[in-house]
Chains A and B, each alone.
Chain A
Amino acid sequence: MDRFVFLTLDGLSRGAVYAAFALALVLIWRAARVVNFAQGAMAVAAAYVAYSVASATGSYWLGFVVALATGLLLGAIVDRAVMRYVDHTSPLNPVIVALGLVLLIQAVLGMIYGSEFRPAEAPFSRGAFTVGGLAVLSPYDLFVFGAVAVVVCALAWIFARTAVGLRMRAAAFAPEVSRLLGVNVGGMLTLGWALASGVGALAAMLVIPTELGLHPHAMDLVFVSAFTAAVVGGLDSPPGAVVGGLVVGLLLSYVSGYAGSDLTPLAVLVLLLAVLLVRPGGLFAPVAARRV
């Protein structure tokens, strides 16, 4: 029972990160109908920048802020400099271009930093509190929950309550009508990319200290898990992405705790296939809400 509680809490903490990363995927999917396969590489790049800043200044938090800023900027650049010029008539094209970016970003990171694992610093202790002899969350887990909760709430507020959020949603659902109503659709798209990439950078900053460390490929498996989370929730649904992230986090934690951590990649693949074959729209697919 103790173990179950521990694994559940640990899974939720991991899941929170997957939720953030999945949310980033869903943001771009909704805005541009593109699954950003380069998001993992972009997020790692932001984390490397944070690493450089933190080692130069000795301040984790300065690096943290710079990582988020780098994420935002990188998203905007990828949209403005590359994705805008992709022929979207075939859905293959943006995917292939994103994969080209993956190769490029990972290569550049490899050239600058090399491909050995670099230890990533955690700003809080990762040792768990014990309550009545039961190991529960660590301070770092609480930080992860807090950071993800802040981001999720901030995004929900932006999209539901602000004028720019309304513009972004309108631009995503009906670009041509939105332009007729004075919405700068291209600008909204760039903003969407920037926000998503910023959230991705945050997720990378949160997850990398809990894994092997910084590496150009550090987010590959995280990407697959987060993609699975997004698919579990339905690619179109931001709340679905959050729930999907927690589901995937719990599953991986149980599999690794009860069956061995080597099996987690296989578990992700099986879950992904199962969801896609049984409920391709995701577990929380909304009733057909298409514009007429």
Chain B
Amino acid sequence: MSATSAATPPRERTTGVAGGPGGPRRRGSTLLRHLAVVAVAGLLLVGVSYAVEPFRNFQLATVAAYLCATAGLTVLTGLNGQLSLGHGALMATGAYTVALCQNAFYDRGVTGGLLLLVSLAAAVVATVAVGAVVGVAAARLRGPYLAGVTLAVAVVVPALTVTFDGVFNGEQGLSVPVEPPPLALGVYFPYERWQLWIAGAATLLALLLLANLVRSRYGRTFRAVRDDEVAARLAGIHVARTQVLAFVVSAATAGLGGALLAVLAQSVSPGAFGLTLSLFLLMAVVIGGLGRLTGAVWGAVMLVALPDLSHSVTEQLTLPAAAAQRLEGNLPLAIFGITLVVVMLAAPGGVQGLLSRFGRALLARWRVGRS
């Protein structure tokens, strides 16, 4: 124990202190800890992918794709205080880039297992470029102005697919050809399991990078800027640069998330990336708990689970077909909307905030009980 603490570089220790009351007791490198968590999560995911049916694999893969975007948005809104209603549009950027790349490869007859990686990387790069443009504008805007501009982005970008339908094929969208799982995994390897592996691996990597960023010097400047811009500026932080960096990082993850969604669905269309998606993402991070990466997980799970749940609810009711369809399509929206309002009014800490409060209370009881 003492050896580990002696080996801890001083910078890491200050990180721990800044991290809150639990900080000083924490020993060891943050990076190692995060790596361990990610490794365990990866192993668990592989295990789960064998244990559950293909449809659940697909759902988990979708959770992973959403998680990319919600985690990035958590960093932006929760840690840096910038509200973005345009992350659905950033996801669309990633999704369309993947679609265009994959189609370009296939049209030229280029095949190979690693092509998907190239396309995903291209998606991240393209979204970073778009994110940088929006981020530079965003860094000069505050509060409702920023919300308004990003809302405009969310509404306008999907419409561009119709404007330039020569490239994006309008409302129809594009198909995304994806290679089957490598033969080395066996002939009967379920496709959905392979999808979960791809999405899971990409998301875990993104989360690892985000978690380290949040714990690093940059993460502290993000929070400093969120809490008090003037004080941050006086402390020597370049506020605009920090805000652009936060926006670019969160755009990159949103782009990756969108790209993964496109790969999972094997198609992209503007309808999937409308304003509602942007609002869903925002809702997910707020309900999960603004500013906590663990909260982003809750949000992503809910994004997939609630529509599923509302499907089962609607099935229970005996309704005429048209009414049932209307109810099923809109029930998740209604639940999301109500939850968003109620959470903001009653529990601004979100689900994760409630859980940690509950957990602390339990722990305190347990300690009292033992002493």
**Chain A residues close to B by CB (< 8 Å):** 29, 34-35, 37, 82, 85-87, 90-93, 95-97, 99-108, 110-112, 114-115, 217, 220-221, 223-224, 227-228, 231, 235, 260, 262-263, 265-266, 268-269, 272-273, 276-277, 280
Q: How far is the CA of A227 from the CA of B145 in the complex (A)?
A: 9
Give the distance in Å from the alpha carbon of A150 to the alpha carbon of B7 in the complex: 76
Q: Is the CB of A114 within 8 A of B144?
A: no
Which B residues, 57 to 98, have Cβ-Cβ distances below 8 Å to chain A? 77, 81, 83, 85
Q: Which of B144, B155, B160 contacts A224 (CB 8 A)?
A: B155
Quick one: which of B83, B148, B282, B338 has the most chain A CB within 10 A? B148
Assuming the contacts A104-B338, A265-B160, asked whether A99 and B282 have C-beta atoms less than 8 A apart, the reply is yes
Bound: A263/B136 CA distance, A: 23
Bound CA–CA A34/B344 (angstroms) = 15
Chain A's closest residue to B334 (CB) is A107
Q: A96-B286, A107-B331 are in contact. Are A268 and B326 (CB under 8 A)?
A: no
CB-based nearest A residue for B82 = A92
- Asked if B141 CB lies within 8 Å of chain A CBs, one says yes
Task: Determine which of A85, A92, A280 lies in contact with B145 in the assembled complex, contact meaning CB atoms within 8 Å.
Answer: A280
- From residue B326, how far is it (CB to closest CB) to chain A in Å? 5
In the complex the two chains form, is A227's CB within 8 Å of B152's CB? yes
Q: Contact at A103–B334, with CB atoms within 8 Å?
A: yes
Query: Cβ of B45 < 8 Å from any Cβ of A?
Result: no
Q: List 8 A-B contacts (CB under 8 A).
A: A91-B142, A97-B341, A110-B326, A111-B327, A115-B329, A220-B155, A224-B151, A265-B163
B140 within 8 A of A: yes
1/0 contact string of B127-168 vs chain A (CB within 8 Å): 000000000010011111101110111011001101100000
Pair count A-B, CB < 8 A: 150
Other CB < 8 Å A-B pairs besides A99-B283, A103-B340, 11 of them?
Answer: A103-B333, A103-B337, A104-B341, A105-B337, A106-B333, A108-B330, A115-B326, A260-B163, A265-B160, A266-B160, A272-B152
A99→B340 contact, CB < 8 A: yes
Measured between C-beta atoms, what is the minimum distance from A277 to chain B in Å? 6
A280 near B149 with CB under 8 A, answer no
CB neighbours of B300 from chain A (8 A)? none
A87 to B345, alpha carbons, bound, how many Å? Answer: 7
Q: What's the Cα separation between A100 and B77 when bound, in Å?
A: 16
Q: Mark B243-273, 1 if CB is under 8 A from A, else 0.
A: 0000000000000000000000000000000
Contact of A107 among B148, B337, B348 (CB under 8 A): B337
B156 near A96 (CB under 8 angstroms)?
A: no
Q: Are B137 and A231 in contact (CB under 8 A)?
A: no
Specify the chain A residue showing the minimal Cβ separation from B346: A85
Q: B51 contacts the other chain (Cβ, under 8 Å)? A: no
State in angstroms the CA–CA spacing of A200 and B336 once bound together.
Answer: 24
Taking beta carbons and an 8 Å cutoff, which residues of B are in contact with A? 77, 81, 83, 85, 137, 140-145, 147-149, 151-153, 155-156, 159-160, 162-163, 274-276, 279, 282-283, 286, 322, 326-327, 329-334, 336-341, 344-345, 348
| Pairs of residues from A and B, 7 with the lowest C-beta to C-beta distance, nearest first | A104-B337, A100-B340, A103-B337, A107-B333, A107-B334, A91-B143, A35-B144
Give the distance to chain A from B13, nearest Cβ to Cβ, in Å: 31
For B145, the chain A residues whose CB sits under 8 A away are 231, 276, 280
Contact pick for B338, options A91, A100, A260, CB 8 Å: A100
Decide: A86 and B155 in contact? CB cutoff 8 A: no
Distance between Cα atoms of A85 and B137 in the complex (Å): 32
The smallest C-beta distance from B288 to any residue of chain A, in angstroms, reads 13
- Decide: B333 and A95 in contact? CB cutoff 8 A: no
Contacts of A277 in B (CB 8 A): 137, 140
Pick from A86, A91, A112: contact of B344, CB under 8 Å? A86
Q: In the complex the two chains form, is B162's CB within 8 Å of A100's CB?
A: no
Given A93-B344, A268-B156, also A110-B81 (CB < 8 A):
no
* Bound complex: CA A37 to CA B345 (Å): 17
Contacting residues, chain A, for B152 (C-beta < 8 A) = 224, 227-228, 268-269, 272
A contact residues around B156 at 8 Å (CB)? 224, 265-266, 268-269
**Which residue of A is nearest B144, CB measured?**
A35
The residue on B at minimum CB distance from A34 is B144
The answer to whether A96 and B148 touch across the interface, beta carbons within 8 angstroms, is no
Contact assessment for B160 and A276 in the assembled complex, using a CB-CB cutoff below 8 Å: no
Tell me whether A272 and B149 are in contact in the complex, defined as CB-CB below 8 angstroms, given that A100-B341, A108-B334, A224-B156 are known contacts.
yes
- The CA of A85 and the CA of B334, in the complex, are separated in Å by 20
| A266 to B334 CA separation, bound complex (whole angstroms) | 30
Residues of chain B with a CB closer than 8 A to A37's CB? 147, 151
